[in-house]
Structure 1
Amino acid sequence: MQVIFTKGSTRYGQLRCVRMDGSATQTQMPEQGIAPHDMIHYVVEKRLRIQGAFFSQIRAGADINFTLEHNEASLAVADKTEIWQTESTVEALQSLLWSADAPSYAGFIYLLEQACSNRKLAMPKISESDFEHILNEIMDLTIEWQGMGEGQSLTLKF
């Protein structure tokens, strides 16, 4: 599936996903200075090979909107625990990236523990190596994203 992030105004960009069968879905995404929330999802889900969260559901046919409109195939791949563990991971990474401090694995684990605890979830196992790879890719994409002008797109494969 192609995942297309298009730089918008200072408020909203756009996320468009084009599946292998040519069907597509899209939505607005808030601009936030660092890589957009959905771009962080992309990196996390790809690196950790998560099969039951946001992008896997879209690839299986879910329509992107505020509540993710599902079809049978996308419901079949959805995993509620993975969905919320992934969201907790993305939130922890966003918090680290918005912080003035240099991101650290210890800081990430602390924030991830808090997010999972608040949701009464088991914490996903994310190695320091995976954390470093995820962080480096997000930082590279953030630099690329920040250098783009309105209307320019970044196309990735999921």
Structure 2
Amino acid sequence: MADRVMHLTFVKRGGRYDDLTIVRGDGASETIACPKQGIIPHDMVHYAVESVLAHRGFLSLVQEGQAAGFATGGKESEDAVERLVETFQAEMWGGRVPATDLIAAYEHACAARGHGIAAISSHDVAAIRDRLDDLTHQWAALPQNGALTLRFPEA
């Protein structure tokens, strides 16, 4: 599976955007702009969620060859992961809530959009939060133009 490993390099830039360069296992690469949002980049939240859970989302699709500058194709599993990423982002902006409340908000968001949910437990929430805390700490410590490289899937 080594040829399926991607390297994700996030670069903290000045201005309104950070950068993400994705290098796939076959060496193909592309760079996308990541709008600043006051927390870690959106695609880094995807990394935290998708590296903890075995659900198909944005990074899984890119790993399979989809261009990085796309919106998910609207399949139920992809939409469910996108809602989960959004739920964790909202928590990062607004403050921690009990895991049961986060899961309930996530399920409500999926229901409002008319699609199913990705299975998630309180243990999963804790693991994702730990990963987000670690990534937030690493990102905050970077100077402007500093880079953080992650492997997906992890080794």
Q: Do Structure 1 and Structure 2 share a fold, with TM-score over 0.5?
A: yes
Is 1:14 the counterpart of 2:19? The answer is yes
Length-normalised TM-score, structure 1 = 0.86
Q: Match of 2:68?
A: 64
**1:106, CA displacement in angstroms?**
2.0
Q: Secondary structure at the match of 1:62?
A: coil
Query: Which residue of 110, 115, 122 maps to 2:116?
Result: 122
How far the C-alpha of 1:151 sits from its partner, in A, is 1.0
CA deviation string 1:29-73 (max 9, x = no partner): 0112211111010111111122x32111111222222447xxxxx
Q: Measure the CA separation in 1 of the matches of 2:103 and 2:71.
A: 28
Check whether the contact 1:53–1:79 (CA below 8 A) recurs between aligned residues: no
- Deviating runs (4+, > 6 A) in structure 1? none
The one-character-per-residue Cα deviations of 1:94-146 (angstroms, maximum 9, x if unpaired) are 111111x4332022112202210111112221011111010111011112111
Q: Is the 8 A contact 1:5 1:153 kept in 2?
A: yes
Measured on the aligned residues, the alpha-carbon RMSD in Å equals 1.7
CA contact (8 A) 2:21 2:30 kept: yes
CA 1:92 to 1:42, structure 2 compared with 1: closer, same or farther past 3 Å? same
Residue aligning to 1:42: 47
For the pair 1:134 / 2:128, whether they are aligned, the reply is: yes
AA aligned opposite 2:90: S
Instruction: Report the number of matched residues.
Output: 147
Identity rate, percent: 34
- Counterpart check, 1:89 vs 2:94: no
Distance 2:50 2:121 in 1: 14
For the Cα contact (< 8 Å) 1:15–1:29, is it kept in 2? yes
